[in-house]
Amino acid sequence: MVELIVKKRNGLELSKEELTSIIDGFISGEIPDYQISAFLMAIYFKGMDSTETAILTDLMMRSGELIDLSEIDGIKVDKHSTGGVGDKTTLVLAPLVAAAGVPVAKMSGRGLGHTGGTLDKMESIKGLSFDMTRQEFINNVKQHNIAVCGQNATLVPADKKLYALRDVTGTVNNISLIASSIMSKKLACGADAIVIDLKVGYGAFMKTLDDAEELAQVMINIGAKMNRNVIAVITSMSEPLGYTVGNALEVKEAIETLKGKGPKDLTELCLELGGHMLVLGKVSENHEQAVEKLKTLISSGKAFDKFKEFVKAQGGDVNSVENTDQLPSTKYSRIYKSDHQGYISELNALDVGLASVKLGAGRETKNSIIDHGAGILLKKKIGDFVNIGDTLAELFSNEESSFEKASELMAIAYKFTKKKPIANPLILKTVR
């Protein structure tokens, strides 16, 4: 192992046999954490080429259980988001795409830090369960064209162990390690094709478009080596997506979007990603035709009907979906007002996300308990003009003491200017 660490430290390529011995040794416990940490640091500084990255992805993918979706008819298209603030896209996209005829077999995760998790949001709906056997999961997709479950503990154990070390050794932010982590999970879940919503900006892991494009290309190359079609849509996460941040609040906004009454940015993103999923799933000939099909499903009510069907199939309370006032709420709320006059030029998604965590909507540690009612309802976003005293946001929490810290973070999030800022596009680039 020392020789392999030195080899990578010197910038040399590792063979399949060498990488296999490292991952197998790490999983079995034969190679200690401190040597793997040194190996990860060598990768961080020297990188990996496309062949090494694909091999690492394959080894991680095969380190645990592989989910076989071949029982399900049609092309299974998965969607992955690299994480953001107010990103409730899956809640809209999964039923919308399922209603269009593409089977959606979705494994989703939980939130940690400033980014929210899809399962946490959906658990705002009373009774909704993600605990099912693999066969129950497959049967739900067969019967309803949609199922969402939590990540299996036996799925990609190498990634779980590697990420735990990366997180505490300062080696998270490496393109090859990020790409292999994402793609190993997606490929292990049995998808035939994958659409990646690659976020860039304040509230995202990728801070620059160049870095996002590089990561996109690496993931596409991995997919190509494993005979999977991958499309990456690079999207802005400079401000939160939509107007809500927090679990039940985001469920409400997702439901409004499925009814055709959602915010412009969330609707635009779901149509963009969904269009690619329909083309990859071969139910539409081109993206424009796919988007029109999705719009029709929303306006006809079929998209929302599919969401209710999904909720009922997984034990959720459909009444709370039809009457969202029954979703979790909080004892307390506070109005956050502007102390500036002018146009909002920045609304830092990271700071807003951290503020929502302080209110109880997210986890500061893995053991934190989520408050499904807590969160933030934004009233103004970038480009809006405000006067002193105008309401910028409403904060919700069951802990009165949390409002002070959350308000401090909100104060940092906003910047103002006298001239109206030029609107930045939401969809920055599509990489194939």
Active site residues: 80, 159, 166, 181, 185
Instruction: Answer yes or no: are the C-beta atoms of 96 and 308 closer than 8 Å.
Output: no
Give the pairing type, strands 375-378 and 391-397.
antiparallel
| Complete DSSP assignment for 137-176 | HHHHHHHHSEEEEEPPTTS-HHHHHHHHHHHHHT----HH
Q: End-to-end CA distance of the chain, in Å?
A: 37
Q: Which residues contact 217 (CB under 8 A, 6 or more apart)?
A: 431
3-state secondary structure of 7: helix
Inter-axis angle of helices 175-188 and 33-46, nearest 10: 110
Residue 343 tokens read as 């146009």
Task: Take residue 385 and report the two structure tokens written for it.
Answer: 């003009």
Q: CA 191, CA 380: separation in Å to the nearest integer?
A: 38
> Parallel, antiparallel, or unpaired for β 332-337 and 391-397?
antiparallel
What does the alpha-carbon distance between residue 383 and residue 168 come to, in Å, rounded to a whole number? 38
- The C-alpha atoms of residue 87 and residue 206 are separated, in whole angstroms, by 15
